[in-house]
Amino acid sequence: MQPSQILSKSHSTYHKMDFKEISPVQWTGEHVKEWLKENNHSKFSYLFCDQHAIDGKALLLLTESDLRSSSLGIQALGDLKRLSLSIRQLQLEHSNAIVQMGYDLSELFQFPKGTTGCYPLCSLRSIKERLISKDPSLSEILERTGSHFPSDSEVENHGLPPEIGKTLLSLFYLFVVTWITAFVMVVVHDRVPDMKKYPPLPDIFLDNVPTIPWAFSMCELTGTLLLIVWLGVLTFHKHRFILLRRFFCLSGTVFLLRCVTMLITSLSVPGTHLQCNPSVDEDWQRLFTEEMYTSLSRKIQRAYIIWRGAGMSIQGVRTCGDYMFSGHTVALTMLNFFITEYTPRHMYFVHTFTWMLNMFGIFFILAAHEHYSIDVFIAFYITSRLFLYYHTLANNRSLMMRDSNRTRIWFPLFSFFESSVDGIVPNEYESPMVPLGKLFSIVYQRVFHFIRDTHVQLLGTRVKNPDKKSD
């Protein structure tokens, strides 16, 4: 019997066999039609087999993007999804055949963007483990074909990359804003209205509550407690770099806005007990005279003192004129909102505790007569609204993507810092030793590879240029 006759007979044998009895790699168009009919997709038989000549091998390699292509022209979304699901089930059942054909499974089974669990049916990593358990020889084939199977950490962190570089950039942004704020506080201190000429403005709270001398120090102590709690959350939160990036960005933006409001209008001193007198030799007008450079250097020195002490009276910093709006209220409110947002909902005690610290801190500011009531109210409103607007956009990608150009124009920092964050940041926690261990591993590998490459280069140089011994 001739070889051609043997092949012909073999082909006819496969053609007559039921599609369930042979591998999909050997399916003909008729087998594909039977499979479509078996899975309630018989209306696509002509489209697949007669019009596009799809056999078993082609069927195993179809993706959802192929089904969406204009050449197939499947219009009904329900039909497309059901057909895609059936094909994926077939691919999973015969994934070893796909690997043996030399194709990368990771190109066929892709995780949808933003999902943190495994793909429906099973994950790529479980596919690999199942294939190797069935046939250990496939391990070498998978390595040779270069099929990439994401690790559990890669799957969990998909859509939530730490982006340490962006976090450092947001820290630099906050650093610049704090310096600008300190300099503006020096300027407005020199412009504060004369207390004899401009008495305190009428205020419902300040007019009815006597001054408590130690209240402002208590306000700063409550802020310190909130900061300690926030540092504890950052220490154990799995997505600490995203949290830091958001905290730096929002804090910097609010304090930058505060610089503008402080400069626009100078309010009179809210309490007669405050020692606030405009500087005689360093007033705002003399900044642009012949003594400009001397005056500017002095202002920078004073700004450094304010920046170094974080504008806190317990650090020895005393300023006046920075009333609209309250920076202490901004810090208290920002810390409170971040703690309550990035701790589990069942931690009612922590949330109640931070809200009490926030409210008592605001009360202490007013009780010390350091700010008008309107200063505190506006500070709380702006900080809370900006926090909520930012997180509403970050947690609802559809709102941001509806008009991406407008988002980039009106919220440039948000568009940059949140470009790679897809979806809500889950409140997941881990030991702080985990990121330190990863950092140590990366540094160790790079140092090891550097030493190894240097050693290899030195050996290569010695082989090419051996030392000549002198006679």
> Under 8 Å CB-to-CB from 35, ≥6 apart: which residues?
19, 24, 27, 59, 90
Q: Any idea which of 109-113, 399-403, 461-465 has the lowest mean pLDDT?
A: 109-113
The mean pLDDT of 165-182, rounded to a whole number, is 95
Q: How confident is the model at residue 137 (pLDDT cuts 50, 70, 90)?
A: low
pLDDT tens digits, one per residue of 6-48: 444 444 555 556 767 788 888 888 888 888 888 888 888 888 8
Task: State residue 419 phi and psi, 5-degree precision.
Answer: -65, -30
375 tagged catalytic = yes
What's the sign of the alpha-carbon dihedral 33, 38, 44, 48?
Answer: negative
Round to whole Å and give the CA distance between 94 and 236: 43
The partner residues of 429 in beta bridges, in order of sequence, read 237
328 tagged catalytic = yes
> Residue 366 in contact with residue 206, Cβ under 8 Å?
yes
Residue 154 pLDDT exceeds 50: no
Q: What percent of the chain has pLDDT over 90?
A: 32
Q: How confident is the model at residue 440 (pLDDT cuts 50, 70, 90)?
A: confident
Q: Which among 346, 371, 403, 449 is annotated as catalytic?
A: 371
Q: Which among 31, 41, 237, 328 is annotated as catalytic?
A: 328
371 tagged catalytic = yes
Q: Which among 55, 190, 322, 375 is annotated as catalytic?
A: 375
Residue, of 226 and 397, whose pLDDT is higher: 226
Residue 265 pLDDT exceeds 60: yes
Write down the pLDDT at residue 288. Answer: 43
pLDDT tens digits, one per residue of 372-427: 999 999 999 999 999 999 998 888 765 555 556 766 777 788 888 888 887 788 89
The mean pLDDT of 303-322, rounded to a whole number, is 87
- The CA R_g of the chain, rounded to the nearest whole Å, is 34
Q: What is the pTM of this model?
A: 0.63
Architecture of the structural domain at 18-111? Orthogonal Bundle (1.10)
Pick from 363, 355, 325: which is nearest to 338 by CA? Answer: 355
Query: What are the domain boundaries of the chain?
Result: 18-111, 164-278+289-418
Write down the pLDDT at residue 28. Answer: 87
Omega of the bond leading into 338 within 30 degrees of 0 (cis): no
Q: Mean pLDDT for the chain?
A: 79
